[in-house]
Amino acid sequence: MNVIKRKSPQSTSLGKKHYLSHLRYFLQLRFLLPVIVIILAVFAYIYRQTWLDSLDEKPISAYALVGKNDYTGYADIQDVLLKMGKLKGFWGQDVSVIQEQIETLPWVKGAVVRKIWPNRLSIWVNEYQPVAIWNKTEFVTKDGTVFQLPAEKLKENNLPLLGGPDYQSLKVLEAWQQIYNDFKAKGLTVKGIVIDERGAWQVTLDNDIVLRLGRGEWKSKLGRFVTIYPQIEVPEGKKIDYIDLRYESGAAVGISENN
């Protein structure tokens, strides 16, 4: 005769409690796992630089300046790197820091720095290209960006002399292009154009005669100048300093000694 033993209610209750205990444990572990991962990630982030530094045997000590550069030389890059102090090695050095320092050179528009194993840098720079001298001491690009460049680095000696508030740079460039081309077609050469804070224009010819145009529209005034200029009689030993065209008609001519 087979005897079937039934589980007592107490045994069933204990098994259920055991199951629920394990379930709660796994549920707690499930919620704790992301927290553990985050803690490990933070730990790795904080100590990553120390770990990378430990991989380096020697610091970066050489660099190559790649691409064609008009104004940036090895001496300029060397000065930047020397100001940064001792560089780290291939693994530990953050090249973005070097890039930011190179971009502090006022004529550098942007830079790209890459590490080359085991201890070298490859450096490429994008330079601003001047199309005119701006306010005598600075330069301006074709898109109106005003920047600084040591005079000894300038290779082009025939840049136009432009000037005015920096926010007017594009307006002055557009006026320069138009006036230069118009005068060239008439056999005249313009050397510079300036607009002041009040919006008054001045044009300087290659013979240093200054045309005072005042504020507002200037095309008709320059047309008037072209008409009267050949008729101006200059006494012997004298020269024209300026021609003031800020009148509804005619012009005032300033004469001085021809030294």
How far apart are alpha carbons 210 and 202 in whole angstroms? 7
pLDDT value, residue 196: 96
- Identify whether the C-beta of residue 241 lies closer than 8 Å to the C-beta of residue 209: yes
Give the residue from 221, 170, 168 showing the smallest Cα distance to 195: 168
> Residue 97 above 70 pLDDT?
yes
Q: Name the DSSP class of 127.
A: E
Whole-angstrom CA distances from 11 to 18, 19, 191 are 11, 13, 106
State whether residue 11 is helix, strand or coil: helix
Res 168: pLDDT: 97
Task: Report which of 158, 110, 151 is spatially closest to residue 132, judged by C-alpha positions.
Answer: 158
User: Is the peptide bond prior to 230 cis by the omega test (within 30 degrees of 0)?
Assistant: no
Ranges of beta strands (E only) in 188-258 are 190-195, 201-205, 210-214, 238-244, 252-257
What's the pLDDT at 258? 83
Name 138's bridge partners: 134
In which band, very low, low, confident or very high, does the pLDDT at 46 lie, cut at 50, 70 and 90?
low
pTM to 2 decimal places: 0.76
> What do you get for the CA distance between the two ends of the chain, in Å?
142
- pLDDT tens per residue across span 196-245: 999 999 999 999 999 999 999 999 999 999 999 999 989 888 999 999 99
Q: What is the pLDDT of residues 5-29, one digit of tens each?
A: 444 444 455 455 555 565 565 555 5
What is the model's pLDDT at position 58? Answer: 83
Q: What average pLDDT is seen over the chain? A: 85
Reading the block at residue 88, the tokens are 């780290």
Model pLDDT for residues 139-193, shown as the tens digit of each residue: 999 999 999 999 899 988 889 999 999 999 999 999 999 999 999 999 999 999 9
Residue 252: the pLDDT is 94
Query: Which of 41-45, 120-124, 211-215 is predicted least confidently?
Result: 41-45
Residue 92 has what pLDDT? 84
Who has greater pLDDT, 23 or 68? 68
Task: Name the more confident of 218 and 43.
Answer: 218
What integer pLDDT is reported at residue 11 of this predicted model? 47
Q: What is the DSSP letter of 137?
A: T
